[in-house]
Structure 1
Amino acid sequence: MKSYDGCWTCRLRKKRCDEIRPVCRNCSTLQITCHFGDEKPSWMDGGFGQKEKAEEIKQNVKSAAARRRGTLPTDILEPIAAELDKDAGMATGGLNRQSASTKCPPFHGEPALDSSPGWPSTRTRPSTKTTPSDAHRDSWNRLDMLSLNNSADEKPGDSELDRRFMMFYFDQFFPFLFPFYKPPLLEGGRSWIIELVVGNQAMWHTTLCLSTYFVSVAMDGAISGHIVCKTLAWEKLLKQMGVTFMMLQHNLQEVASSNTLDLIVKISRIMGSIIQLQRFEISVGNFENCRKHLGAAITLFRQIFRAAENVLDRGELSTLYHVLSHMGRPLWAITSQQGGAWNSDQAAFRFYSALLIADDIVASTCMEEPPRLLEYHARLLTNGGSLDERPPLNLEDFIGCENWVMLQIGEIVALDAWKKSRKKAGQLDMMELVARASAIKQTLLDNLARLDAAATTPKTNSLGLFTFYNDHFPPMPGGCTAFVTRVWAHAALLYLSVVVSGWQPRSVEVRENVVRILALLEQMPAPELLRTMVWPFCMTGCLAEPGEECRFRAMADALVPHRLFGAARKALEVMENVWKCRDELTIDTDFAACVCSLGYMSLLV
C-alpha cells in the first residue's frame, strides 16, 4: 500500500513505511538510501525526474541484493573496495620483501591493509613483461595483438569490439573526465595514454571497464529499446572487472622480484591503475571505498620516491625529475631539468601523481588531518622561489586549478588539525591561530587580485594552432582555468573562516564568499564545468541560506545524464543532509562532519 506519511523512498516505491527515523525498516533491509523530510524532494515531480529516481532506486535494490548474496552486482562498484584492499595488502608484502635488496624502508603509518589472498577466478593470460618506453613503438599493431590475445577464449569479432570500446574512451571519455588536460606538443601530447594501455594488461582491462560503463550509459540514454546492446556492454564490463583484478594481482606479485629501476616503473603502473579505478568509482557515484583506495595509492607513491632516494644513496630527498629519470629517457629533451616529450611511463606518472595530490588534499578536508602527501608539496608544487621556472607539477594543467589554491587548502587543513589538538590539550593560543590564518588569507587574496589583473591580458601560444577546435568549453575572460581557480580560492576562504571562527553561515565574511561563489557558478560557460569544482560547490552549498537552495539544486540537475556526474550528485546529497538539520548545527560543526554525515567519506573531486 502506498505511504502518504512515510519516507519519500517508500512513497516513490509505493510501499507502506513504518516511519522510523533516520532509516525506515524497508530501506534498512534493502540497504538503500532513506529519503525523509517535510519538504518534497525536487525529483518527486510526477514526470521525468521521478521516473529517473525510481529507476536509480531500482538499480540500488538490485545491487544491494547482489551484495547480500555475495555476488557481483550489475553496477560493479562495491567489489572494488575488497579487491583493492587485497591489491594493496599484496603490494605492501611484496614491496617490503623487495626493500631488503633495494634499501627501501618498510611501510609505516599507512592504513591497515588486508593481505589475505582471494581474487576472482576469471581465466586470462599472464601479462607480458614490458620496459619503459624509450622509443616509439607500433602502438596499433600491439593494440591489435593484445586485443586478439585477450579475446582468444571469446567469440569471433570480440577483438574488434574491444578496440572500438577503447577508441570510444580515448576519443570521448578521457577528454570528458579530464577537460583541462591538454599537454602541448613539446611534452608529447596525450599519446602516452595509448602507449600505456596497450603496454600494460591491467591498465587495458581497467580502461575497458571505464569504457564499457560509459557506453552502457550512452546507450541507455540514446537507445531505450536495444536491450541486447546494453546487455552486451554490461557483460563485457563484468568480465573486464574480474580480469582487471587478476592482472593487478599478477603485477603486484611481479614487484617482489624486480630490481630497483623496474620496481619504480611497475609500482607507478599499479598506482595509476588504482587511481583510475578510484576515479571510475567517483564518476559513477560510489564513495564508500574512497579512503581505502586513496590509502593504497599513497602507499605506492611514497614507495616510488623511497626507491629513487635509495638509488641516490646520498641522504638527500628525491625530486620528481629523479623519479622520472628511472623510467627511461624522454623522447626528446629541451632542458636537463624540465625534460621534454615524456615517454609513456613518465607522462603517466606525472598525470596520476597530480590527480593523487589533489585527491589527497581534498580528502584531508574530510579526515581532520593534514594531507598525507604534505611533505611532497614543496618539492612538486612550488618552483623553489625561482620566478623563471614552472613547478614540477602544475595542477592547472591537470585539474584546472592553480597550485597556490591547493597549497593553501592543505595549509588550512593542517591549521585545523593543529587547532583541534591544541584545544583538546587546553593549550590553544588564539593569537597564534589568527596570525597563521591571516597569512593564509593574505596569500589567497593577493593571488585573487593577480587573477583579476590578468583577466584582460591575452594569452599567446605559438603551438596552440588547434586549440580553438579542441576546446570543450566556450572562451571566457582569463580562460576557464582562471575561472575554476577563482571559485576554488573563494571556497578556500570560506573553509578558512569555518576553521577559525566555527560554523557561522550568517557571518558577514561567510555571506560575502557564498554570494560571490554562487554568482560565479551561475556564470559557468557550460554546466559540465561544475564537475571540476565539486568541492567548492559542496562547501558553498552547505553554508547557503534556505532561499539559495533551489539554485544549487538547479546546477546539479543540469548535469545529465546523472549517472556520469556522481561526485556532483553526491555533493548535493551532502548539502541536502545539512539543510535538513540546519537549525541543529552548532558553532563546533565543521565541514568534515557535513561531508561524512552520509556515514562515509565522499571524495568530492
Structure 2
Amino acid sequence: MDLLPRTLRTSNGCWTCRLRRKKCDEERPVCDICAALRITCHYADKKPEWMDGGARQEEMTEKVKREVKQKAPYRRVDRPPAFGEKVANAGFGQWSTGPQNMMPEPTHNGTHSSTETPELTSAGTGCGHLDSNQVGRSDSILTTFYLQSVLPFLFPLYRPPIARGGTAWVLELMIRSPVVRQATLCQGCFFFCLAQGTDSREVICETVFSQVREAFKSLERAIQGMDGSNIVENSRGTVHVMASIVQMLHFEVAALTFENCGAHLNAALALFDQLFDESGTVEPAELQSHFKLFMHHLGPSSYIPPADHIQIPSAEQDAFYFSTALLLFDDIIASTALQKRPRLYQYHHSLLESNEGDEPVINLESVIGCQNTTILQIGEIAVLDKWKKECQNAGKLDVIELVSRATQIKNTLERQVVRLEGESAETCKLSGNLLDLLAPNNSASSSRRLVTLVWTHAALLYLLVVVSGWQPASDEVRHHVSQIIDLLANKITPNTLLRTMAWPFFIAGCLSEPAQQAEIRQMAEALQPSIVFSTVRKALEVMENVWHSGGDGLSQDFSTVFKAQGHIILLV
C-alpha cells in the first residue's frame, strides 16, 4: 500500500522527505508521510547542517532508514485505542472535565454491588484467564513476574516499607479488581516476552498491543459504567480505575507510544477531580483535611495478627496515595510541555508542602525519588512561563515582576542544591537481596538524594530559559548542564535509573555543547533493549533535532520544542 499522497514535491517540504527523496504534503508540525511511518519529521526554515550533500547527509540518510525499519512493528498493528478520548478531549494542550460518576466495584469485603456488570467481573486477560474462583497457571506466573520485576523496573525508587504493607496492595487489587488485573497482566505479558529473549520484536509488539487493547477496553467499560453511580458509595471501585489508568499511562510512555498519553492523563486527572472533590466547592484551606477524610473513607485499615496493634493501610488507601503522587508529578511535567498552569495546582500547597515542620501529606520522594521542593518549584516555573507568555501576547510584560518572581524560585532551588550537596556523597547503588531488604536501605536514600539533585539543576535550567531565553553559551547554563551530565554518567547507578530522569536529561541535553553531545548520546544508547526505554530514546530524538537546527526557530522556550512533536511528550 502506497502511504505517500499524490502531491508534487516542493521546496517547502520537510527535510526528512527531501532526504528520502519523497513527496511531502507539507503538513506541519509533522507531515502525514512521516506520521504514517512514525519517524522524526525535520522542519526548519534554515537548511540543516547535515544536509551538506556529503558524508553528514549520507550518515543522516542511514539514520532515517534505520528509524523506518525500527518503527515497522508499530505500523503493522493498530495503535492502542485512546480510551480517554471518550472521557476527555485528546487535543494537544486541552483539558476537559471527564466523567461525572463512578463505577461500581467489589465492596471492601470482596462481595460485588448489585449493579456491577457481569462483563466486568468476568473480563479475561487474553493471556491466561483469571476470575474470582480460579487462578490460571499463566496468570500466577505473570502476576509474580509483575510484582517482582516489572513494578520495580517502572518505579525503581518506589519502595514502601514492608512494615507498612509494601506493594501488597497491588496484589490485593489484582485479585479483586478486573480492571487492575488486566492493566497489570498485559504489562507483565509484554515484559515476560522480552525476558525470554525473543528475537522477533514484531512478535512482541503484536502480543503487547493485543493485551493493551484488551486492558483499554476493560477500562473503557469501567468508565462507561460510572453513569448514575454514587461517588462516595463507589469510591473504592473508582480508585481501582484511576490506579489502572495511571499505571497504564506510565507503561505506555515507557514502552509503547506517546500518541495517547495526553488523553489518558486527562482521563486520570478528571477522575481525581471527580473523586476527591466531587462537589467542586472545597476551599483551598480545607483540601488537606478533605484529603485525609477521603483516605479514611477508603479504609478501614488492616491489622496483622497476632499483634493487633500493627496497623496496615487498606489496599485502596495505598493505591490512592500512589496514584495521587504520580498524578501530581505527571501533571507538573505535562505543564512544562503545554506551557500551562498545572491542572492540579490548587492542591500543591495542601498536599505537597510541609506545614510547621510536619511531613507533607504526599511525599513524592517515596514514589518517584525526587523531593517535593524541587517538583513544586518546577510547577511554579510552569506557572511563571504561562504568565510571561500571556503578558507578552498582551504587550504588557512587567520585567521587574518577572525577575522578582523568578528570583524567589531561584533562591529556593539554589538552597536545595547547597543542602543536597552538603549531604553524604556516597555513590548510590540499588540491591534487592534479602539482607538489604531487612536492613535500613541507605543506598535507596542516597539514590533519591542524587536524583533530586539532578532534577534541581534541571529546574534551574528551565527557569533560566523561561526568564532569559535560549542561551546555551551562558556560564550559568553550562554549569548546570555539566553538573547533570556528571551526576548521570558518574554518580548514579545503575544506569537504568536514567529512565526515571528523562525530563532533566532532556532539559540538559537540549542546552548542551557539541563536545558533550557524544556522551549524552552514549548514555541513551547504552540502555537496552531500547523498546523499554521510550522516554529516554524520545528525549534523545528531540535533542538531536535541536542540535541539528542549532537552536534556530525555538522561540526561546522549551514548550516550542515539545509542541513541534505534534502531540504531548510526557517524559515521566
Which of the five TM-score ranges fits, normalised by the shorter chain?
0.7 to 0.9
Alpha carbons of 1:238 and 1:500: their partners in 2 closer, same or farther (altered >3 Å)?
closer
Q: Aligned partners of 1:129, 1:151: CA distance in 2, in Å? A: 22
Are the aligned partners of 1:18 and 1:24 in contact in 2 as well (CA < 8 Å)?
Answer: no
Matched AA of 1:84: G
The aligned counterpart of 2:495 is: 527
CA distance in 2, matches of 1:86, 1:402: 34
1:202 aligns with 2:158: no
Q: CA deviation at 1:341?
A: 1.9
Structure 1 residue corresponding to 2:96, chosen from 111, 116, 134: 111
Q: 1:29–1:581: structure 2 CA closer, same or farther, 3 Å change rule? A: same
Once residues 61 and 521 of structure 1 are traced to their aligned partners in structure 2, the CA distance between those partners, rounded to angstroms, is: 31
2:60, 2:565 → 1: CA distance? 24
Say whether 1:132 aligns with 2:108: yes
Compare 439-448 and 248-257 and name the one that shifted more: 248-257
Q: Distance in 1 between matches of 2:293 and 2:178?
A: 27
Q: Secondary structure at the match of 1:584?
A: coil
Matched, 1:287 2:298: no
2:392 — aligned with what?
A: 423
Aligned match of 1:404: 373
Q: Is 1:447 equivalent to 2:413 in the alignment?
A: no
- Which residue of 491, 512, 518 corresponds with 1:544? 512
Q: What's the counterpart of residue 212 of structure 2? A: 241
What is the aligned partner in structure 1 of residue 222 from structure 2?
251
Deviation at 1:379, TM superposition (A): 1.4
Distance 1:585 1:10, change over 3 A: closer
Residues 47-73 of structure 1: per-residue CA shift (max 9 Å, x gap)? xx98xx977633634533x5xxxxx53
* Structure 2 equivalent of residue 484 of structure 1: 451
Which digits, 9 at most, give the CA deviation of each residue in 1:273-311, with x for residues without a partner?
11122111101141122221111111110111123888x
* Structure 1 residues 43-62: aligned runs within 5 Å: 57-58=68-69, 60-62=71-73
Query: Which residue identity does 1:406 align to in structure 2?
Result: I
The secondary structure found in structure 1 opposite 2:136 is helix
Distance 1:178 1:148, change over 3 A: closer
Within a 5 Å distance, the mapping from 1:430-579 to structure 2 comes to 430-455=399-424, 466=434, 468=436, 475=443, 479-523=446-490, 524-579=492-547
Contact residue 157 and residue 366 of structure 2 kept, 8 A: yes
2:556 is the alignment partner of 1:589: yes
Amino acid corresponding to residue 320 of structure 2 in structure 1? F
Q: Cα distance, 1:240 vs. partner?
A: 3.4
CA distance in 1, matches of 2:354, 2:433: 28
Q: In the alignment, which of 162, 166, 169 is matched to residue 185 of structure 1? A: 162
- The structure-2 alpha-carbon separation of the partners of 1:493 and 1:583, relative to structure 1 and needing over 3 Å to count, comes to closer
- Could you say if the C-alpha distance between residues 423 and 516 of structure 1 is closer, same or farther in structure 2, counting changes exceeding 3 Å? same
Q: Which residue of 1 aligns with 2:74?
A: 63
From 179, 185, 193, give the equivalent of 1:216: 193
Are the counterparts in 2 of residues 7 and 19 from structure 1 also a CA contact under 8 Å?
A: no
Tell me if structure 1 keeps the 8 A contact 2:219–2:245: no
Preserved contact between residue 339 and residue 386 of structure 2 (Cα < 8 Å):
yes
SS at match of 2:518: helix
Quick one: distance in 1 between partners of 2:125 and 2:443? 43
Deviation at residue 567 of structure 1 after TM alignment: 0.3
Q: Is the CA contact 1:133–1:344 (under 8 Å) kept in the aligned structure 2?
A: no
- Unaligned residue ranges in structure 1 (runs of 5+): 1-5, 67-71, 90-108, 116-126, 136-144, 334-338
Separation of aligned partners in 1, 2:109 and 2:171: 12
How many residues are matched? 520
Q: CA deviation at 1:212?
A: 1.4
Whether the 8 Å CA contact 2:254–2:532 is kept in 1: the answer is: yes
Matched residue of 2:515: which SS? helix
1:435 CA drift (Å): 1.1
- Contact kept? 1:319, 1:379, Cα under 8 Å: no
Partner of 2:118: none
The one-letter code of the counterpart of 2:96 is: P
**Pairwise CA distance, 1:429:** 1.5
Which amino acid in the other structure matches residue 224 of structure 1? D
Paired position in structure 2 for 1:604: 571
Question: Structure 2 counterpart of 1:197, which letter?
Answer: M
C-alpha change, 1:42 and 1:185, in structure 2 (3 Å) is farther
Give the distance between the partners of 1:543 and 1:314, measured in 2 at CA: 38
Q: C-alpha distance in 1, partners of 2:262/2:184? A: 22
Cα–Cα, structure 1 residues 114 and 508, in superposed 2: closer, same or farther, change >3 Å? same
Which moves more between the two structures, 26-35 or 177-186?
26-35
CA 1:87/1:428 → structure 2, altered by over 3 Å: closer, same or farther?
A: closer
Relative to structure 1, is the Cα distance of residues 558 and 29 closer, same or farther in structure 2, using a 3 angstrom cutoff?
A: closer
Q: 1:564 to 1:252 in 2, by over 3 A?
A: same
**Structure 1: how far apart are the matches of 2:238 and 2:311?**
23
Q: 1-side partners of 2:487 and 2:543: how far apart?
A: 19
Q: 1:566 Cα deviation (Å)?
A: 0.5
Cα offsets for 1:31-89 (capped at 9, x unmatched): 5445784487899699xx98xx977633634533x5xxxxx53xxxx2332x3322558
Contact 1:491 1:540 in 2 (8 A): yes
User: What is the rounded CA distance, in whole Å, between the counterparts of 2:57 and 2:246 in structure 1?
Assistant: 33
Deviations 1:195-226 (A, max 9, x none): 0111110111111211111122233xx2438x
| 3-state SS of paired residue (1:301) | helix
Deviations 1:531-577 (Å, cap 9, x if unpaired)?
A: 11110000011111112111110110111110010000000011011
Relative to structure 1, the CA distance from residue 242 to residue 545 in structure 2 (aligned partners, 3 Å threshold; closer, same or farther) is closer
What is the distance in 2 between the residues matched to 1:465 and 1:214? Answer: 22
Counterparts in 2 of 1:391 and 1:327: CA distance versus 1, 3 Å: same
Distance 1:276 1:292 in 2: 14
Measured at CA, do residues 25 and 377 of structure 1 come closer, stay the same or move farther in structure 2, by a change above 3 Å?
Answer: closer
**Residues 504-549 of structure 1 deviation map (CA, whole Å, 9 limit, x = unaligned):** 1111211111122112121122211111111000001111111211
Question: Is it true that 1:371 corresponds to 2:342 in the alignment?
Answer: yes
Which residue matches 2:21?
Answer: 17
Which range is displaced more, 493-502 or 31-40? 31-40
Unmatched 5+ stretches in structure 2: 1-12, 43-47, 112-121, 305-309
- Give the structure-2-normalised TM-score: 0.80
RMSD of the alignment, in Å?
A: 4.1
**1:301 partnered with 2:268:** no
Kindly, what percent of the aligned residue pairs are identical? 37
Return the alpha-carbon distance in structure 2 between the equivalents of residues 509 and 153 of structure 1: 56
Give the aligned residue type for 1:598.
Answer: Q
User: Distance in 2 between the 1:59 and 1:152 partners?
Assistant: 32
Q: 1:283 to 1:453 in 2, by over 3 A?
A: same
Q: State the secondary structure of the residue aligned to 1:533.
A: helix
User: How far apart, CA to CA, are the structure 1 residues paired with 2:58 and 2:506?
Assistant: 19
